Structure 1
């Protein structure tokens, strides 16, 4: 089962290591991880897609969220779940191209609403943004039509809730005060045997 978490963290060294170590200790695989600046100075937005074991129960997402929230430098965590949201992924695809195959590749790029961002004598680079299925579709078509894919670079998933929903912690902190103390939030208690219970 896949779970998507959006964590707001202080932009300080060691935060990513703490998050990754938590998932390692819980024996939960991270499928996708994207980190970047948020709308608040000094605060980064981290989108984590994780895969829990098949025997995990419906409370697993809440318990992972609580565990993340207890980490140092983590300000807020939102589990997107089935909430209305927009998810996108970016991919750069380098394809071998000759004078004879360029026009065919250009046609595919137009169909998938991608674009060419680099053109070399023997290759070209495609940039595509969209849902995972769209990116997988372009890669599959390139492989099926005999276009040799030389290299693929994909970002993690980026997810944002639809509507006016935003982090209550960030609203409380204010844009001009990134160094404000972390609010005293109530977390669900997570026992030491968490990994055995999911």
Structure 2
């Protein structure tokens, strides 16, 4: 069955797992074996004793495929919980990127001006280049990178998306 862009929906899945060797391979293997694409993947240890990690996976697909992914993830032994942040309610998403831009003269001035508008801060500078740090929703990071392409974009490094439900309750 071919999925059209209209049928595919973006979903942010927060997966709480035991922090053990091979768990990331199990989860990515589940996606790979079934032909599902991972758009973004982040992993972080979230407990003081290093026993639990949180994996944030961004993927696309129609609702029935996302439901199938969730069900299959929940069946994996080291998985404690899977939450589709996109379906669970209001949530916050953020991403960090380092953006290297090369330029002199007016292009250099324009890069600094745009960085200020986007609240990107220079973390390294030479007479010929900047490295900017930008955080925010993925669309903000995408827009900043697109504008920097016109001004001398050299290199981009992105962390991937992390997300969290709004409010006082833990996931």
Shift of 1:113: 0.8
Aligned to 2:32: 24
Change (3 A) 1:9 1:103: same
TM-score, scaled to structure 1: 0.75
TM-score, scaled to structure 2: 0.86
Residue from 73, 90, 95 that aligns with 2:101: 95
Alpha-carbon distance between aligned partners in 2 of 1:31 and 1:130, rounded to the nearest angstrom: 17
Alpha-carbon distance between aligned partners in 1 of 2:35 and 2:104, rounded to the nearest angstrom: 46
Shift of 1:125: 0.1
Shift of 1:137: 1.3
Q: What's the Cα RMSD here?
A: 1.7
Name stretches of at least 5 consecutive residues in structure 2 with no aligned partner.
1-7
Shift of 1:155: 1.4
Alpha-carbon distance between aligned partners in 2 of 1:165 and 1:59, rounded to the nearest angstrom: 27
The question of 1:69 aligning with 2:74 is answered: yes
Shift of 1:18: 0.3
Residue from 162, 166, 183 that aligns with 2:166: 162
Alpha-carbon distance between aligned partners in 2 of 1:165 and 1:66, rounded to the nearest angstrom: 23
Aligned to 1:4: 12
Matched pairs, number? 161
Change (3 A) 1:23 1:85: same
Aligned to 2:3: none
Name stretches of at least 5 consecutive residues in structure 1 with no aligned partner.
168-198
Alpha-carbon distance between aligned partners in 2 of 1:11 and 1:22, rounded to the nearest angstrom: 17
**What does the per-residue CA deviation read over 1:86-115, in whole Å, with 9 as the maximum and x for residues that have no partner?**
011111100113355433221111111110
Alpha-carbon distance between aligned partners in 1 of 2:106 and 2:140, rounded to the nearest angstrom: 26
Stretches (4+) displaced over 4 A:
none
Greater percentage in strand = 2
Alpha-carbon distance between aligned partners in 2 of 1:13 and 1:39, rounded to the nearest angstrom: 16
Alpha-carbon distance between aligned partners in 2 of 1:100 and 1:62, rounded to the nearest angstrom: 51
The question of 1:116 aligning with 2:125 is answered: no
Structure 1 range deviating more: 123-132 or 36-45: 36-45
Alpha-carbon distance between aligned partners in 1 of 2:152 and 2:158, rounded to the nearest angstrom: 17
Alpha-carbon distance between aligned partners in 1 of 2:127 and 2:18, rounded to the nearest angstrom: 44
